[in-house]
Amino acid sequence: MRLSDGLSLTLLYGLILCTLPAGASEEPRHPPSRIAVIGAGIGGTSAAYFLRQKFGKNVPIDMFEKGAVGGRLATVEMKGDEYEAGGSVIHPLNLHMKTFVKELGLSSRPQSGNLVGIYNGEEFVFRESDWFLINIIKLLWYYGLNFLRMYMWVEDVLEKFMRIYRYQTFDYCFSSTETLLHALGGNDFTEKLNMTIDETMQKAGFSQMFIDEIVAPAMRANYGQGVRVNGFVGAVSLAGTDSGLWAVEGGNKLVCSGLLYASKAQLIQGTVTFVQEKTRPSRTGGTVKLFEVSYETATGPRLDLYDILIIATPLNKGISNITFLGFSPPIETFSKSYHQTVATFVHGRINASFFGCSEPCHFELSEIITTDNPKLFISSVGAVSPVKAAAKPSATKPAGLKVWKVFSPEPLREDQLRLLFESYDTVSVKTWLAYPSYNPPEKLPPVILHDRIYYINGIEWAASAMEMSAISAKNVALLSYHHWYGKDGHIDQEDLTERLKSEL
């Protein structure tokens, strides 16, 4: 029934388009002559992949990247092994990431189940046990039914969020991140952008002790910030406590290089500096507006012209440094800032007594997250495994020596490292402008920066995660496609859930 409706609509569209006298419509109906994507992180490379699916095999797509393909998905090398330094874990229901890995012939690597301890600066407020039953009893004892309710609460958000895959499968897209979120979860979702996770959970009836001792450490471990983050990113962060988390065998960045290859986009190694609108003669005799992209390469400055521009890097201060010249209204750098997170990798032996566990410590320390105590100089520390499963068991490694990943807001000083570790031999540091500094109420940046210029990274202000970038990338690919071919029927539609119920 629905299917045939769709079919006749498409036919109707075709008829209208064909019967329009030439030149009556200003919208170009030929494919774009060139598309540019700026930034080869997961957002940009998945955009290239989806653009290729929509626009077909002949449209040239250029991908600009000033650094390494992968962006915030990167590894560090330590003692001959590589470890995830940026985005590391993926939720089992992140369907775009799952599909990429499958289509690209990559494989997944389950996250090892580290036992978690929650440290408040003086002692552990909670320690996970090897025994499932003991954990349940402890949690019930300390937090009553808060845990169970949290899982139900997160599941409810997740279930609504999952609607996006269905919408996108049927080519529906949204002209702003707010309308996208609203289409998934109504005011319930958009309101979460205006409240902190603290307020959101208080309102939902969670105890303050639970929020301080369980929720805050989860926020700090995932986003380096406490319970002042908005309720939406808070929910995403709590979903990160689910089981079944995974990563990509060989490194998450392999998804980016894989998508780039599959999209057949041309990688241009260079730093984009300026974007300017230019008027040029069109093939039909009129004029056409194109975007001139200026960029610096190893061999000097160059420029190229494009019909469509996809910005896949944050346009916040100190990150991309792209200047848009002569646009009206102007396209400006966003003033809000990104949060600094330092990832320090240490090969050594952790100092259990620093965490108030005197020797002999009967707790196998492997993952320590922390409450929002300003005296703490770290957000979390955990033992990590290499991105590649070891070819042979590392029986040769001395017991107790592990590679630890420490997250902190500031680089660790040597005296701090000496406190944290009983002994260590190798240290490697990666400083990130990692994700937004969340501070609700959050007004999200636009998706459409200008006619035919689209911005993927605004979605990070709702929540920054690999899957969020991929969702935003697909949204932008669909939006640019529908705009180009004048198909408004797939943009900002309400009641999609009802409408799509009867679709196959």
Ligand X SMILES: Cc1cc2nc3c(=O)[nH]c(=O)nc-3n(C[C@H](O)[C@H](O)[C@H](O)COP(=O)(O)OP(=O)(O)OC[C@H]3O[C@@H](n4cnc5c(N)ncnc54)[C@H](O)[C@@H]3O)c2cc1C
Q: What are phi and psi of 15, to 5 degrees?
A: -60, -50
How are beta strands 271-281 and 287-297 bridged, if at all? antiparallel
According to CB under 6 A, which residues from 171 to 190 bind ligand NAG?
A: 187, 190
Nearest approach in angstroms of CB 433 to ligand NAG is 12
Nearest approach in angstroms of CB 362 to ligand X is 30
Considering the complex, state which of residue 357 and residue 473 has its C-beta at the smaller distance from ligand X.
Answer: 473
* 158-165: Cβ within 8 A, 24+ apart: 158/93, 158/235, 158/239, 160/184, 160/185, 160/188, 160/189, 161/185, 162/93, 162/95, 163/496, 163/497, 164/471, 165/95, 165/96
Size of the site for ligand X (CB under 6 A): 36
Upper half-sphere CA count for residue 204 (Cβ side, 13 Å): 24
Please state, in angstroms and as integers, the Cα–Cα distance from residue 126 to each residue in 112, 119, 376, 381, following that order: 20, 7, 17, 15
Across-strand partners of 308?
35
Binding mask 100-119 for ligand X (x = CB under 6 A): --------------------
Considering the complex, state which of residue 418 and residue 487 has its C-beta at the smaller distance from ligand NAG.
Answer: 418
According to CB under 6 A, which residues from 354 to 383 bind ligand NAG?
A: 354
Piece of the chain touching ligand NAG by CB under 6 A; list 240-248, 351-359, 456-464, 493-501: 351-359
Report the residue from 86, 117, 226, 348 that binds ligand X according to the rule CB under 6 A: 86
Query: What are the structure tokens assigned to 136, written together?
Result: 């349940």
Q: CA-CA distance, 504 to 502, in Å (whole number)?
A: 6
Report the residue from 207, 273, 416, 493 that binds ligand NAG according to the rule CB under 6 A: 273
Considering the complex, state which of residue 439 and residue 493 has its C-beta at the smaller distance from ligand X.
Answer: 439
Nearest approach in angstroms of CB 419 to ligand NAG is 5
> Strand runs (DSSP E) across 99-141, as ranges?
108-110, 116-119, 124-127
According to CB under 6 A, which residues from 431 to 450 bind ligand X?
A: 432, 434-435
Binding mask 226-265 for ligand X (x = CB under 6 A): ----------------------------------------
CB contact at 8 A, 86 and 290: no
Nearest approach in angstroms of CB 442 to ligand NAG is 7
How are beta strands 35-38 and 61-65 bridged, if at all? parallel
Considering the complex, state which of residue 253 and residue 351 has its C-beta at the smaller distance from ligand X.
Answer: 253
User: Cis bond leading into 329, ω under 30°?
Assistant: yes
Piece of the chain touching ligand X by CB under 6 A; list 80-88, 113-121, 277-285, 416-424: 80-88
465 in contact with ligand X (CB under 6 A): yes
DSSP state of 316: B
- Return residues touching ligand NAG (CB under 6 A): 187, 190-191, 194, 273, 321, 351, 353-354, 419, 422, 441, 443
